[in-house]
Amino acid sequence: MRIRLLLTLVGALFFNFTLHAVEGMWLPLLLKELNEKEMKAMGMRISADDLYAINQTSLKDAVFIFGGGCTSEMISDQGLILTNHHCGYGQIQSHSSLQNDYLKYGFWAKTKEDELPNKGLTATRIVRMENVTEMVLDGAIRQDGSVNQQVLDANIKRVVAQSVSGTHYEASVKPFYYGNEYYLFVTETFKDVRLVGTPPSFIGKFGGDTDNWMWPRHTGDFALFRIYADANNKPAEYASSNRPYKPLHHFPVSIKGVQENDFTLVYGFPGRTQQYLPSPMVSLTMNDLNPIRIKIRSKALQVIDEAMASADELRIKYAAKQSRISNAYKKWIGENRGLKKLDALTVKKLIEDQFSQKVKGSSYEPLLSQFDEWVATFRYYALANDYYNELIFSGPEIIRYAYNYVKFMKNYDDLKAKGELDKTIESLRTGAEGYFKNYDMITDKKIMMAVLPLFIEGIDKSMGPDYMFDEIIRFKNNYDAFVNNLFSISIFSSKEKVLSFLNTINDKSALKIKSDPAYRMAESIYTSYFNKVSDKYDETNQRIQNGMFHYMKALRQFLPDIRKYYPDANSTLRVSYGRVEGYSPQDGTWYHWQTTIDGIMAKYVPDDTEFDLDQRYISLYQQRQFGRYASGQSLPVAFIASNHTTGGNSGSPVLNAHGHLIGINFDRTWESTMSDIMYDPERCRNISCDMRYVLWVIDVYAGASHLVNEMTIVQ
């Protein structure tokens, strides 16, 4: 009985029995061949060529990678791009201070001169992509099926060089299907991207962590930036003489509205999925790694949340860090729940049973049992790796900061010999200004007190930092005493002390820094990570990746019909499509596909950090001033649809059947978060902010109509 039920689930998952959701993140250049028919049957009115073409402009020319890992879209012919508030959060925060609290009150540039430059921020367009598998693998696969990495790397280098020669473009080649295929991406990267507008956090982050990853949702998660180019419309470093970029295409914005079952398409850069992992890897993620990450982050977040609630200054300082830590934390909790609900391990094992039968007698026969062995060894290093990762990146910042000085001291003599000491000291000085701007010693100390015991007691002794174990024993297992002592003695807990060290540095005083307790802690942690974990982690992981190369190849060869084998997300341009539709999160409950401003008012809690509103917003609501953005009596805020998305799709354009912008993707529902590993068409939904709400905020609430006037509105 149970087996029959699971087989039905496998069928539902892989054959898409529901006519609605379509699993997959598809390569734009293959849409014509693989998806166009289905997309048109679902209601799409444009063609695959409209979405992606290289000899004429196409919709892809209006989609940009935003910064390191988000998507943005062009919405005017003057370089105006739209992305998520949470994607521009770091920039918004860096322009914010107690005097100019853009996080709290929002920011709207009245003229182009008021737009704010952002050092290091880029926006990248895909010029073209191409399947280069043959060229990359030429001579790179040995007789025994293994890959000759040197030949492969040389091939890639050649393909890349040829593709950009004589242009200002850049290019990269990325592996697909664990290296069974390779695609070339030629890109154009703009380096002058300025902040144009952001709503206040009570709109852009409405609902905070409580609502993050949740439906029903009411977050106005958007921000506006503008790409600037040189006089020839080419990318250039920031210069006040740069001009707004003239794009090849910008999306018309539709305020005609969205209906249930409407066709929708998400065009963006999904970051990472792992749909084809065998069961031991899924088990490792679910049962071992996610719990470690969740445990450590929950402790760090308790401290940060308390600090942020206690003072405006701390709220600003920790805003971006808190978001980064809590976003993944909550996702992993949802992911584990979803995988359990899908009985993912059993589903995987059923596929593996079929696989084993099919590959009997072939060279793939031992593959699955090899995975068991490989994962067992990898697990050992993966656990340690995560402990270090979480301590260093979600734990006290002082460790990461002090490590800069460990590196500095390692190179001290060298820098001196090369005459580069002064320059390096100067950059450490600038670094200190930036670092301490967002640092609070008391909070960091509390984070260390909360997180360090989990690290020391959780990590396998053979892979931890011996010095730290000894120190804790020296302090008789009294972590608080250890931490108090460290923060009171170390210079790295105070900007003044760091600057005074740098200002008076000489060979003798430099040497003294080596006995600073934070320095010693950082040195021992990083050294033991590099000596005991990182190489072994890479080596054992590489074995699994090689195994995945073969597993993926064999799955497609021996079980071609059990599912559609779209390539896992890898931060390359993809199209997902589906419909506007609700879902049932649990027995007896049905979620409607749309939310409105009435829901915002229902959630409103005066003075709450997550659910507050301002007076202007409330009175616009009370007077029902929704202008042309209204739908019936209310104002639509967000909608869900069955587009398969992941992190990196944040900020992606959500298009209707005509290729017009109807929403901006910003999240998935909590019941969807396992879709990075296993997608469920019945429950996986992406969350988009309705463009009518975005325009209402800009136009009516903020009075920045000049920005709406730049756009092409379809009504």
Contacts of 491 (CB under 8 A, 6+ apart): 497, 498, 500, 501, 513, 516, 518
652 near ligand ASP, judged by CB under 6 A: no
Where in 304-363 is the site for ligand ASP (CB under 6 A)?
Answer: 327
Binding segment toward ligand ASP, per CB under 6 A, in 193-201, 421-429, 609-617, 643-651: 643-651
Looking at beta carbons, which residue is closest to ligand ASP? 647
397 Cα distance to chain centroid: 21
Question: Residue 369 catalytic?
Answer: no
Q: How far is the CB of 676 from ligand ASP (least distance, A)?
A: 8
Of 215 and 501, nearer to ligand ASP (C-beta) is 215
Of 440 and 667, nearer to ligand ASP (C-beta) is 667
645 near ligand ASP, judged by CB under 6 A: yes
Of 252 and 582, nearer to ligand ASP (C-beta) is 582
Produce one character per residue of 55-66: b if its CB has 16 or more CB atoms within 10 Å, e if not: eeebbbbbbbbb
Secondary structure of 573-607 in the HEC alphabet? CEEEEEEECCECCCCCCCECCEEEHHHHHHHCCCC
571 near ligand ASP, judged by CB under 6 A: no
649 near ligand ASP, judged by CB under 6 A: yes
90 near ligand ASP, judged by CB under 6 A: no
Q: How far is the CB of 657 from ligand ASP (least distance, A)?
A: 23
What CA–CA distance (Å, rounded) separates 569 from 643?
A: 14
74 Cα distance to chain centroid: 20
Please report, as a single letter, which amino acid is at residue 204: G
User: Reduced to 3 states, what is the DSSP secondary structure of residue 661?
Assistant: strand
Of 327 and 377, nearer to ligand ASP (C-beta) is 327
576 near ligand ASP, judged by CB under 6 A: no
CB-CB contact of 691 with 264 (8 Å) = no
Q: How far is the CB of 677 from ligand ASP (least distance, A)?
A: 13
CB-CB contact of 370 with 447 (8 Å) = no
User: Reduced to 3 states, what is the DSSP secondary structure of residue 171?
Assistant: strand
Using DSSP bridges, classify how beta strands 123-131 and 181-190 pair: parallel, antiparallel or unpaired: antiparallel
Question: Residue 221 catalytic?
Answer: yes
Find the binder of ligand ASP among 262, 667, 671, 699 (CB under 6 A): 667
647 near ligand ASP, judged by CB under 6 A: yes
Of 493 and 675, nearer to ligand ASP (C-beta) is 675
Of 94 and 646, nearer to ligand ASP (C-beta) is 646
Binding segment toward ligand ASP, per CB under 6 A, in 53-61, 531-539, 634-642, 645-653: 645-653
Q: How far is the CB of 646 from ligand ASP (least distance, A)?
A: 5
Place of tokens 């009997």: 360
Please report, as a single letter, which amino acid is at residue 72: S
535 Cα distance to chain centroid: 25
Annotated catalytic residue, options 163, 524, 528, 650: 650
Q: How far is the CB of 274 from ligand ASP (least distance, A)?
A: 14
650 near ligand ASP, judged by CB under 6 A: yes
Please report, as a single letter, which amino acid is at residue 313: E
678 Cα distance to chain centroid: 18
668 near ligand ASP, judged by CB under 6 A: yes
Of 235 and 647, nearer to ligand ASP (C-beta) is 647
- Which tokens sit at 116? 């704010």
642 near ligand ASP, judged by CB under 6 A: no
Binding segment toward ligand ASP, per CB under 6 A, in 44-52, 349-357, 611-619, 640-648: 640-648
Annotated catalytic residue, options 192, 211, 221, 444: 221
646 near ligand ASP, judged by CB under 6 A: yes
Q: How far is the CB of 65 from ligand ASP (least distance, A)?
A: 15
Of 666 and 679, nearer to ligand ASP (C-beta) is 666
Helix (H) or strand (E) holding 207: none
Contacts of 467 (CB under 8 A, 6+ apart): 520, 521, 523, 524, 528
Question: Residue 86 catalytic?
Answer: yes
Q: How far is the CB of 649 from ligand ASP (least distance, A)?
A: 6
Annotated catalytic residue, options 86, 249, 644, 660: 86
Q: How far is the CB of 70 from ligand ASP (least distance, A)?
A: 8
What CA–CA distance (Å, rounded) separates 85 from 544?
A: 37
What CA–CA distance (Å, rounded) separates 528 from 515?
A: 18
Place of tokens 């144009």: 196
Of 517 and 651, nearer to ligand ASP (C-beta) is 651
What CA–CA distance (Å, rounded) separates 177 from 233?
A: 36
Binding segment toward ligand ASP, per CB under 6 A, in 177-185, 335-343, 498-506, 663-671: 663-671
Secondary structure of 535-584 in the HEC alphabet? HHHHHHHHHHHHHHHHHHHHHHHHCCCCCCCCCCCCCCCEEEEEEECCEC
Of 254 and 649, nearer to ligand ASP (C-beta) is 649
Q: How far is the CB of 104 from ligand ASP (least distance, A)?
A: 22
**Residues involved in catalysis:** 86, 221, 650
Return residues touching ligand ASP (CB under 6 A): 327, 645-647, 649-650, 666-668
